[in-house]
C-alpha cells in the first residue's frame, strides 16, 4: 500500500486516541483547511505555516483550546493538483473555532508574524477549501453490527511482503484497529527499509452503507464488497484512470492486497502489484 502524500509531523496514530489532550466524553471535530501554494512558493509556504500557524496552534493546545493539529503535504505530481497542504485541527466540540475564538484571538494578538523570504501568507498561498468530520467519544462503545463484521477479519497486527518473480520480501508492518472511543477505523503502516509511514481514518457512511477511509496524504477510498473479497476503491478518478486495492479473504492468518489499475474508466483492470499480508504472532 502506497500513499502519494506524506504527513509532516511525527505523531503516531493519526486521528486515533488523542495525543496531546485529555480523553473527552463529548463530540470532537477534525477540521481540514486545504491550502494551495502560489507558483514557486510551496516550500516557503510550508515554512511560513510552521513558523506562524503552528507556533500559535502549539500554544492553543497547551492552553486546552483544542486537542491536536497536523500538517499534511500533497505529493501528487499532477499539474492540476487542487491543494498542496492540509492544516488539520482537532477541536473538542462541534462548534470548532467559534467555541474558542476569544482565547484564540488573544494568542493571535501576541504573535508576531514571521515572514518567509520577505513574504506573508497572502503572498505565498490561499485557502481553497475546508471540511470537517465529527465523532463521538464514548468509552466502552460497543462497535458491533454488520458493518464491523466485514472489518473484523482484517483487524490486528500484520507484516506486509512484496511478491515478485524473485519471491517474497517483507517490507512493512501494518496495524488495523477500531477505536473504541468512536468506532472509527484506523490503519498505521510503517515501512522497514527507510523512514516512511502513513495512517488512515475510516468511518461508516450510513447513506452509502459503506466504509469511507481517508489516508494521511488526503486520498479517499470506499470499501466495496466483491464476492469474498473487499475492494478499496479510490474515489479520486483522473480522466479515464481508476485505482483500487483488492483485499482477499483472510485464510490461516494470510491475505493478499492486489493493486489494480484501469485506463478505460473501469471497464478492464490490470494487476500492478501484489502484497502478501501475514498476521504477526
Express each pLDDT in 114-128 by its tens digit. Answer: 999 999 999 999 999
Pick the residue with more confidence: 272 or 3?
272
Identify whether residues 193 and 251 lie together within a single domain.
Answer: yes
Residue whose C-alpha cell reads 477505523 in the numeric block: 185
| Least reliable range by pLDDT among 19-28, 84-93, 269-278 | 19-28
Identify whether residues 126 and 181 lie together within a single domain.
Answer: no
Whether 7 and 217 have beta carbons less than 8 Å apart is answered as yes
Question: Can you give the pLDDT at residue 51?
Answer: 94
Cell of 182: 468512536
Identify whether residues 74 and 114 lie together within a single domain.
Answer: yes
Identify whether residues 275 and 168 lie together within a single domain.
Answer: yes
- Which residue segment(s) compose the domain that 201 sits in? 146-279
In this structure, what CATH number is given to the domain that contains residue 124? 3.30.70.100
Q: Which pLDDT band, with edges at 50, 70 and 90, does 76 fall under?
A: low
CA distance 67 to 38: 30
52 in a structural domain: yes
CA distances from 89 to 35, 96, 99 (A): 14, 9, 14
177 in a structural domain: yes
Identify whether residues 263 and 152 lie together within a single domain.
Answer: yes
Question: Can you give the pLDDT at residue 27?
Answer: 58
* Residue where a domain stops, chosen among 135, 170, 192: 135
Identify whether residues 87 and 198 lie together within a single domain.
Answer: no
* Residue where a domain stops, chosen among 96, 113, 135: 135
| Least reliable range by pLDDT among 5-19, 91-105, 133-147, 184-198 | 5-19
Whether 74 and 217 have beta carbons less than 8 Å apart is answered as yes
Identify whether residues 240 and 156 lie together within a single domain.
Answer: yes
pLDDT above 70 covers what percent of the chain? 85
Name the average pLDDT for the chain: 83
85 in a structural domain: yes
Residue 155: CA count within 13 A, CB half-sphere: 13
Express each pLDDT in 12-33 by its tens digit. Answer: 233 333 333 333 345 568 889 9
Which range is most confident: 96-105, 114-123, 137-146? 114-123
Question: Can you give the pLDDT at residue 91?
Answer: 86
Whether 28 and 138 have beta carbons less than 8 Å apart is answered as no
Identify whether residues 168 and 271 lie together within a single domain.
Answer: yes
**What is the reported pTM?**
0.54
140 in a structural domain: no
Residue 158: CA count within 13 A, CB half-sphere: 25
Amino acid at each position: 500500500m502506497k500513499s502519494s502524500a506524506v504527513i509532516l509531523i511525527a505523531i503516531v496514530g493519526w486521528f486515533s486516541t488523542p495525543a496531546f489532550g485529555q480523553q473527552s466524553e463529548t463530540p470532537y471535530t477534525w477540521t481540514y483547511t486545504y491550502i494551495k501554494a502560489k507558483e514557486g512558493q510551496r516550500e516557503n509556504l510550508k515554512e511560513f505555516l510552521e513558523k506562524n500557524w503552528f507556533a500559535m496552534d502549539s500554544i492553543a493546545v497547551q492552553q486546552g483550546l483544542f486537542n491536536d493539529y497536523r500538517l499534511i503535504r500533497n505529493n501528487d505530481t499532477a499539474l492540476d493538483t487542487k491543494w498542496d497542504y492540509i492544516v488539520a485541527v482537532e477541536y473538542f466540540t462541534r462548534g470548532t473555532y467559534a467555541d474558542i475564538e476569544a482565547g484564540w484571538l488573544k494568542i493571535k494578538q501576541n504573535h508576531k508574524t514571521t515572514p518567509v523570504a520577505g513574504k506573508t501568507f497572502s503572498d505565498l498561498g490561499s485557502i481553497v477549501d475546508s471540511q470537517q468530520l465529527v465523532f463521538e467519544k464514548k468509552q466502552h462503545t460497543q462497535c458491533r453490527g454488520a458493518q464491523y463484521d466485514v472489518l473484523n477479519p482484517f483487524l490486528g497486527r500484520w507484516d506486509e511482503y512484496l511478491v515478485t518473480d524473485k519471491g517474497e520480501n517483507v517490507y512493512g508492518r501494518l496495524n488495523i484497529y477500531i477505536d473504541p472511543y468512536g468506532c472509527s477505523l484506523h490503519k498505521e503502516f510503517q515501512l522497514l527499509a527507510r523512514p516512511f509511514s502513513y495512517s488512515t481514518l475510516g468511518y461508516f457512511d450510513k447513506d452509502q452503507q459503506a466504509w469511507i477511509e481517508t489516508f494521511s496524504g488526503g486520498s479517499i477510498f470506499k470499501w466495496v464488497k466483491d464476492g469474498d473479497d473487499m475492494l478499496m476503491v479510490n474515489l479520486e478518478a483522473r480522466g479515464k484512470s481508476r485505482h483500487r486495492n483488492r483485499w482477499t479473504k483472510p485464510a490461516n492468518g494470510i491475505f493478499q492486497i492486489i493493486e489494480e489499475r484501469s485506463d478505460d474508466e473501469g471497464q478492464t483492470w490490470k494487476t500492478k502489484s501484489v502484497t502478501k499480508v501475514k498476521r504477526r504472532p
